Amino acid sequence: MSLKAIVTGGGSGIGLAAATALAQRGMTVACLDLNPPGEPFIGIKADVTDDASVRAAVAEAAERLGGIDVVVNNAGIGAQGTIEDNPDSEWHKVFDVNVLGMVRVARAALPYLRRSEHAAIVNTCSIAATAGLPQRALYSTTKGAVLSLTLAMAADHIREGIRVNCVNPGTADTPWVGRLLDSSDDPEAERAALNARQPMGRLVSAEEVAAAIAYLASPEAGATTGTALAVDGGMQGLRLRPTN
Ligand SMILES: NC(=O)c1ccc[n+]([C@@H]2O[C@H](COP(=O)([O-])OP(=O)(O)OC[C@H]3O[C@@H](n4cnc5c(N)ncnc54)[C@H](O)[C@@H]3O)[C@@H](O)[C@H]2O)c1
């Protein structure tokens, strides 16, 4: 019997690629998003900042899928600047989406996951959780929280048979980064700088992140919980010498 998955932020970028990768592995997939996709996925409109919306969407997904085995907590938003640049309201807003959003979705899905033989949660974290990036104080803090949340949840739910892991993408070529480039004074130079920041000299693709998510979500990763899998072109772990 095929596994059933829900993917938040499944309407774009990494989430859409993850939904595609899970479907390619034979899973049936519901995408929860402010702008959900259509076929071949079950698209369900949901706002992860609204607990009632999340509970209704997760219940609808479970009903239409016939249960939930896999949760991909991926919906997220960005923020730029140092701690002087974002007002308190912005901190609350970004935490509400990036951290509490994952809590709400996982909380609503837990009763279904407990009934699954292959329960797994995969959170989309970031290189920003483990490396100090300039002008990303708020965003990085939310992703640091996602890393800690992943470990804490892995411990809390291991005896219920629910695995919890995260992926840490480097800068990935998604509509999000496209918007970031478009808003910069010199998009070409900005893209070149982002490419150069990664030891592989290029951005990560959404499909590469999705493959890591699909692996961690699948029964093949049955002995893996409480881990962070970097998909970052070597950005976290490598220290290269300059080429010239
Ligand atoms: N693109 C990168 O370089 C990169 C790097 C590391 C981590 N990430 C993380 O990957 C995840 C996906 O990013 P992406 O680049 O694919 O972005 P994206 O903007 O292409 O997609 C994000 C999706 O989340 C949805 N979303 C946003 N707020 C929501 C809400 N309140 N409720 C429901 N859905 C909501 C959006 O509608 C969108 O479809 C995020 O958690 C992001 O932090 C991205």
| CATH number of domain containing 31 | 3.40.50.720
Please tell me the pTM assigned to this model: 0.98
Protein residue with its CA nearest to atom 2 in ligand 1:
172
Mean pLDDT, the chain, as a whole number?
97
Answer whether residue 10 is part of any domain. yes
Q: What is the pLDDT at residue 24?
A: 98
Closest CA to 49 of 96, 110, 15: 96
Q: What is the pLDDT at residue 161?
A: 98
Q: In the annotation, is 112 catalytic?
A: no
Closest-lying ligand 1 atom to the alpha carbon of residue 14: 16
Out of 60-64, 145-149, 191-195, pick the least confident: 191-195
Protein residue with its CA nearest to atom 42 in ligand 1:
76
Contact present, 26 and 181 (Cβ < 8 Å): no
Answer whether residue 71 is part of any domain. yes
Backbone angles phi, psi at 57, to 5 degrees: -70, -40
Q: How far is the CA of 9 from the centre of ligand 1 (A)?
A: 6
Protein residue with its CA nearest to atom 20 in ligand 1:
13
Closest-lying ligand 1 atom to the alpha carbon of residue 176: 19
Answer whether residue 77 is part of any domain. yes
Report CA-CA distances (Å) from 240 to 17, 126, 196, 198.
30, 21, 12, 10
Contact present, 225 and 158 (Cβ < 8 Å): yes
Protein residue with its CA nearest to atom 41 in ligand 1:
76
- Mean pLDDT calculated for residue range 81-107: 98
Answer whether residue 197 is part of any domain. no
Q: Is 194 in the pocket of ligand 1 (CB under 6 A)?
A: no
Answer whether residue 239 is part of any domain. no
Q: Is 147 in the pocket of ligand 1 (CB under 6 A)?
A: no
Q: What is the pLDDT at residue 242?
A: 82
Answer whether residue 179 is part of any domain. no
Answer whether residue 192 is part of any domain. no
Out of 7-11, 116-120, 190-194, pick the least confident: 190-194
Question: Which parts of 68-200 are beta strand (E)?
Answer: 70-73, 119-124, 162-169, 172-173
Q: What is the pLDDT of residues 132-169, one digit of tens each?
A: 999 999 999 999 999 999 999 999 999 999 999 999 99
Q: What is the pLDDT at residue 4?
A: 98
Residue 244 pLDDT level (bands cut at 50, 70, 90): low
Question: Which parts of 113-238 are beta strand (E)?
Answer: 119-124, 162-169, 172-173, 204-205, 228-231
Residue 61 pLDDT level (bands cut at 50, 70, 90): very high
Print the domain residue range for 157: 4-172+205-231
- Non-local (6+) Cβ contacts of 121 within 8 A are 70, 71, 72, 73, 106, 109, 113, 153, 162, 163, 164, 165
Bond from prior residue into 40 cis (ω within 30 degrees of 0):
yes
Closest-lying ligand 1 atom to the alpha carbon of residue 98: 41
Protein residue with its CA nearest to atom 34 in ligand 1:
33
Residue 8 pLDDT level (bands cut at 50, 70, 90): very high
Residue 43: enclosing H or E segment and its boundaries? Answer: strand 42-45
Q: How far is the CA of 242 from the centre of ligand 1 (A)?
A: 33
Report CA-CA distances (Å) from 126 to 82, 133, 168, 223.
18, 11, 4, 23
- Mean pLDDT calculated for residue range 28-42: 97
Domains in the chain, number: 1
Q: How far is the CA of 163 from the centre of ligand 1 (A)?
A: 22
Answer whether residue 58 is part of any domain. yes
From 139, 203, 218, 230, the catalytic residue: 139
Closest-lying ligand 1 atom to the alpha carbon of residue 177: 1
Please give the residue that has the higher pLDDT: either 159 or 243: 159
- Label residue 243 exposed, middle or buried (CB < 10 Å: 0-12, 13-18, 19+): exposed
Residue 204 pLDDT level (bands cut at 50, 70, 90): very high
